[in-house]
A and B are shown apart, each in its own frame.
Chain A
Amino acid sequence: MKKRVGVLALQGAFREHRQVLEHLGCDVIEVRKTNDLEEIQGLIIPGGESTTIGKLLQIDEMGEKIKELGTQDLPIFGTCAGMILLSKTIINSDQYRLSLMDTVVERNAFGRQVASFETDLLVPAMGPNPLRAVFIRAPYIREVAPNVGILAEYDGKSVFARQGNLLASAFHPELTPDLRVHQYFLNMIDEL
């Protein structure tokens, strides 16, 4: 049976995630309102502006509903802005967040847009071949609790992590043709 996966579609690169998921055979729901969250088996929070998405999440307490689903083991994958929103602590910021992952995240940690880059990233959990990873005004994970597993590091900085049903990447797997990261997330739905 097809998996029914939600992509938060308030702002950002949600269309790219939608296309990857459809390519992998999922039914995709664009989540704009709280009742769009019903009956999804997983949720992706896309790249975009974390402050913008955070403000839109506060309307009709949609963020609180996502938080509730996240604590009830709904698989959630956040890329870039999504990683920021999943984190409990954001350095130097009191912006809205979902506070689901036991991570400390620093925003714009590699500098402004002129410092944005793409690189080959080794992710042992995805096999021996490196992933092409695109970092755009990217954050990184500065600290984690012991229950968080680090899946990849770049330049000594944690950029990919999993905590149970939660997955977070500082880079954008939806901007490259490599499907492994999304496939990994869909496998999490099967495991949980």
Chain B
Amino acid sequence: MTDIGSLKVKTGLAEMLKGGVIMDVTTPEQAIIAEEAGACAVMALERVPSDIRAEGGVARMADPTIIQSIMAVVSIPVMAKARIGHFIEAQILEALGADYIDESEVLTPADDSYHINKHDFKVPFVCGCRNLGEALRRIGEGAAMIRTKGEPGTGNVVEAVRHMRTVMSEIRALTLMPKEELMSAAKDMGAPYDLVLYIAEHGKLPVVNFAAGGIATPADAALMMHLGCDGIFVGSGIFKSGDPKARAKAIVLATTHFKDAKILAEISKDLGQPMSGIEISTLTDSQRMQERGW
């Protein structure tokens, strides 16, 4: 029996992306630079997060023409972002043939109560989380891949670190709990009970978990890999820096060789200016993208 769009097939692509770097791109030219640098996939979007912050307004799905022109120039998977809850944007992206959809808090949410029912789609979804409960709710809705939310467009890795550490330590805590405590844990974290049982038994998420939001240097990428993620998303960190080509390549190398400080020292040299960045304490609550999603 042949089965298209099964969970195995959806999660399988994320498994193949592991140990790799997925780069935000807004034009075919940037997509080519990303593929040349060794990106394992690109994320097509209208504006990178730091420009969304700077320009304000409503951030939406990219123009299909942009997405198709990026799909035409690279052979690696092309992902695209849909607004939280905007299942029509997601249907459009699926119809265009996007390889993965990011239901993303970087875009202006379309629904402030409900996420997309991702089980309805053949295309796989990646969703953001700040803690284990949020990760398991997204997986319960059908997400085939998870990423930390971090604080996109700031060039400040502190929130991605916080979210990755939170998810990993909550996973470790569940593995130590006696079974009779797991229902209360599920209730406290607002997570589906069957997925809580899975974590307690396996000590890991049932899907791939990447780091995202604020990664700006090879050292940032290696740090996130050390904290237990499976790979890296980089957005503004590359194309808002002084030398995108060199930085993109260095972040790819750092993700592979994250355990080797000598290699990291070598590849961190002469990369030009990183993106200037924003101190997160200067952001108001409404400017914090990580608060979007529920």
Distance to closest chain B CB from A132 (angstroms): 9
Verify if B52 is at the interface (C-beta below 8 Å from A). Answer: no
Contacts of A107 in B (CB 8 A): 75
Contacts of A108 in B (CB 8 A): 75
Is there an interface contact between A136 and B9, defined as CB atoms closer than 8 Å?
yes
Contacts of A14 in B (CB 8 A): 18-19
Distance to closest chain B CB from A102 (angstroms): 23
Verify if B237 is at the interface (C-beta below 8 Å from A). Answer: no
Verify if A74 is at the interface (C-beta below 8 Å from B). Answer: no
Given A55-B38, A112-B97, A116-B4, the answer on whether A48 and B13 have CB atoms closer than 8 Å is: no
The chain A residue with its CB closest to the CB of B5 is: A114
Is there an interface contact between A117 and B256, defined as CB atoms closer than 8 Å?
no
Given A118-B8, A136-B9, the answer on whether A12 and B1 have CB atoms closer than 8 Å is: no
Q: Which of B1, B40, B71 contacts A11 (CB 8 A)?
A: B40
Q: Which of B5, B18, B39, B257 has the most CB of A within 10 A?
A: B18
Verify if B6 is at the interface (C-beta below 8 Å from A). Answer: yes
Q: Which of B3, B40, B94 contacts A117 (CB 8 A)?
A: B3
Verify if A9 is at the interface (C-beta below 8 Å from B). Answer: yes
Count of interface residues, chain A, beta-carbon cutoff 8 Å:
39
Verify if A97 is at the interface (C-beta below 8 Å from B). Answer: no
Q: Which of B4, B9, B76, B123 contacts A52 (CB 8 A)?
A: B76
Verify if A142 is at the interface (C-beta below 8 Å from B). Answer: no
Chain B: interface residue count, which band? 35 or more
Q: Which of B5, B6, B75, B257 has the most CB of A within 10 A?
A: B75
Q: How far is the CA of A15 from the CA of B3 in the complex (A)?
A: 25
Verify if A34 is at the interface (C-beta below 8 Å from B). Answer: no
Q: Which of A75-97 contact B (CB under 8 A)?
A: 80-81, 93, 95
Q: Which of B2, B18, B37, B252 contacts A12 (CB 8 A)?
A: B18
Distance to closest chain B CB from A84 (angstroms): 10
The chain A residue with its CB closest to the CB of B208 is: A13
Contacts of A9 in B (CB 8 A): 19
Contacts of B41 in A (CB 8 A): 49
Is there an interface contact between A51 and B99, defined as CB atoms closer than 8 Å?
no
The chain B residue with its CB closest to the CB of A121 is: B2
Distance to closest chain A CB from B155 (angstroms): 24
Is there an interface contact between B38 and A13, defined as CB atoms closer than 8 Å?
no
Verify if A175 is at the interface (C-beta below 8 Å from B). Answer: yes
Q: Which of A37-57 contact B (CB under 8 A)?
A: 47-49, 51-52, 55-56
Q: How far is the CA of A11 from the CA of B20 in the complex (A)?
A: 6
12 contacts between A and B (CB under 8 A): A11-B18, A16-B15, A49-B40, A55-B252, A112-B71, A113-B13, A114-B4, A114-B94, A114-B122, A114-B123, A116-B9, A117-B4
User: Which residues of B are at the interface with A, using a C-beta cutoff of 8 A?
Assistant: 1-6, 8-9, 12-13, 15-20, 35, 37-41, 71, 75-77, 94, 97-100, 122-124, 252-253, 255-257, 260
| 6 closest cross-chain pairs (CB), A and B | A113-B99, A49-B40, A119-B2, A55-B38, A11-B19, A116-B9
